[in-house]
Amino acid sequence: MDKIKTSALPISWVYALVIIYASLYPFSGWRDQSIYPWEFLWAPFPLYWTVSDVIINILGYIPFGFFLTLADLRVKNRDASSLSFNWIFAICMSLLMESLQTYLPARVPSSIDFLLNSLGVFFGVGIAYFCETHQIIDAWNQLRSRWLINESVGPLACLITWPLAIIYPPSIPFLMGDMSWGMKKEAYKFLGIQPHEEWMRAISGTLLQMSNFESTVCVATGLSIPIFLAFSIAPVLIHRVWVVFGVCFVGACALMLTSALTFDTFHIFSWFSMYIFFGFCIAIISSLMLSKISTQAAQVLLFILLLMHLFLPNDLSSDVYLAQSIQVWEQGKNARYIGLTQWVGLLWPYILLVVIAYRLIDRKVTKIYPDDAN
């Protein structure tokens, strides 16, 4: 097997975790009903189902079938005339998820869901073969070769998933990796404690005096992280300039989407303030000033920014407005999908930290032992 040169494989792994989370949420109340988990296969079709359920079940598995097939074709250097059997794995995973729902009181396994998931897989497989046949992926690879350096799979996958990491409402925009809030929340739930005192302390005078500066720092570092992540794999100056404004645009769109989902479309700019604007300006100006640095220097700066950004959540407290926003999200209709963004926001910076640390160490080892790297 040749060396992996596609981001489709790690993306398919991540998407498998997405499916597991969406299928088994809320992961509580497991019980044995004294029936086989595959009984749903020959049970009668449900009498009532909605169009949205049909669309979600089909669309949810299209990317999975697409990336699995694309990874198989790319990793093994197959052409579009050869067959990929990775779709069998996707079908088996759908069957496993529906079977496990038998043990969850909040979920109902259904043969129609399994059939729709399978249909989504075959749609994804067909799209992958269509892209290969018409050389659409080759055009993407040519674009990627002009923009990016070699061995950019890991950072590129992290860059693509960054918008998901900032959608869940944080205490400050672009704040990621805040493990303290999740751990406190679960501890309060386990102990049966209402954390009103914690919320009141969070809006005390001292914290309010610091909040403006903290907001600016969080926004500046939160925006600079994906920018310098792109700098570490995109060496051309003009491409880096496009990246700076593209990241800021995507970040602003993600914040507007968060506000729309939390409140309504009339409050899509509720996140905006002068200090957040200053954070945007600092990120843009500093990134443009450093746009000529080498890709290795960008990795070092990115590593430092990640450490700074991960230190911030431990020094901040949750506020009452954050708690209210999270309650709105968690009580929504599609909580299992929205809640997934919380975990992406928590884990994304730590995964990126590991990826960048590995690349820095690997580069040092290659310099010290050049013969072993060949």
> How does residue 374 score in pLDDT terms, banded at 50, 70 and 90?
very low
Query: What mean pLDDT is reported for the chain?
Result: 77
User: Are 245 and 341 in a shared domain?
Assistant: yes
**Residue 2, domain member (yes or no):** no
Q: CA neighbours within 13 Å on the CB side: how many for 131?
A: 19
Is residue 270 assigned to a domain? yes
Q: Over 90: is that where the pLDDT of 152 sits?
A: no
In angstroms, the CA 133 to CA 127 distance is 10
| 233 shares a domain with 158 | yes
The reply to whether 166 and 299 lie within a common domain is yes
Would the pLDDT of 358 be above 80?
Answer: yes
Q: DSSP string of 212-279? A: HHHHHHHHHHHHHHHHHHHHTT---HHHHHHHHHHHHHHHHHHHHHHHHHHS-GGGTTTT--HHHHHH
Contacts of 290 (CB under 8 A, 6+ apart): 228, 231, 298, 301
pTM over 0.75: no
Please report, rounded to a whole number, the percentage of residues in the chain having pLDDT higher than 70: 74
**Cβ atoms of 74 and 84 closer than 8 Å:** no
How many domains does one find in the chain?
A: 2
| Residue 1 belongs to some domain of the structure | no
In a domain, 3, yes or no: no
CA–CA gap between residue 343 and residue 179 (Å, rounded): 10
Residues 216 and 363 in one domain: yes
Rounded to an integer, the average pLDDT of 55-63 is 87
Q: Is residue 138 part of a domain?
A: yes
| Residue 314 exposure: Cα atoms within 13 Å on the Cβ side | 5
- The answer to whether residues 160 and 305 belong to one domain is yes
Q: Does some domain include residue 131? A: yes
**Higher-confidence residue: 25 or 230?**
230
Question: Does 207 fall in a domain?
Answer: yes
Q: Would residue 361 count as lying in a domain? A: yes
E-strand spans in the chain?
none
**What is the per-residue DSSP string for 143-164?**
HHHHHS-SS-HHHHHHHHHHHH
Same domain flag for 142 and 120: yes
Out of 129, 147, 165, a domain closes at: 147
Reduced to 3 states, what is the DSSP secondary structure of residue 212?
helix
Statement to judge: residues 48 and 67 lie in one domain: yes
Statement: residue 290 has pLDDT above 90: yes
Write down which residue in 147, 180, 214 finishes a domain.
147
239 burial level (CB within 10 Å; 0-12, 13-18, 19+)? middle
Q: Quick check: 153 and 10 in contact, CB under 8 A?
A: yes
268 and 351: one domain? Answer: yes
Between residues 291 and 178, the one the model is more confident about: 291
Q: 210 and 102 in one domain? A: no
Query: Which one of 97, 118, 147 terminates a domain?
Result: 147
Co-location of 330 and 365 in the same domain: yes
Tell whether 174 and 294 lie within a shared domain.
Answer: yes
Q: What is the per-residue pLDDT for 83?
A: 61
Q: Which are the contacts of 149, defined by CB distance < 8 A and separation ≥ 6?
A: 233, 234, 235, 295
Q: 121 and 25, same structural domain?
A: yes
Q: What pLDDT sits at residue 369?
A: 45
Please compute the mean of the pLDDT values over residues 248-273 and round it to a whole number.
81
What's phi and psi for 329, nearest 5 deg? Answer: -65, -45
- Residue 127's closest CA among 76, 75, 62? 62
Q: Is pLDDT larger for residue 323 or for residue 60?
A: 60
Structural domain that includes position 108: 8-147
CA distance 56 to 113: 10
Check pLDDT > 80 for residue 1: no
Per-residue pLDDT at 172? 76
- Torsion angle of alpha carbons 47, 48, 54, 55, nearest 10°? 170
How large is the average pLDDT for residues 301-317? 76
pLDDT at 321 over 60: no
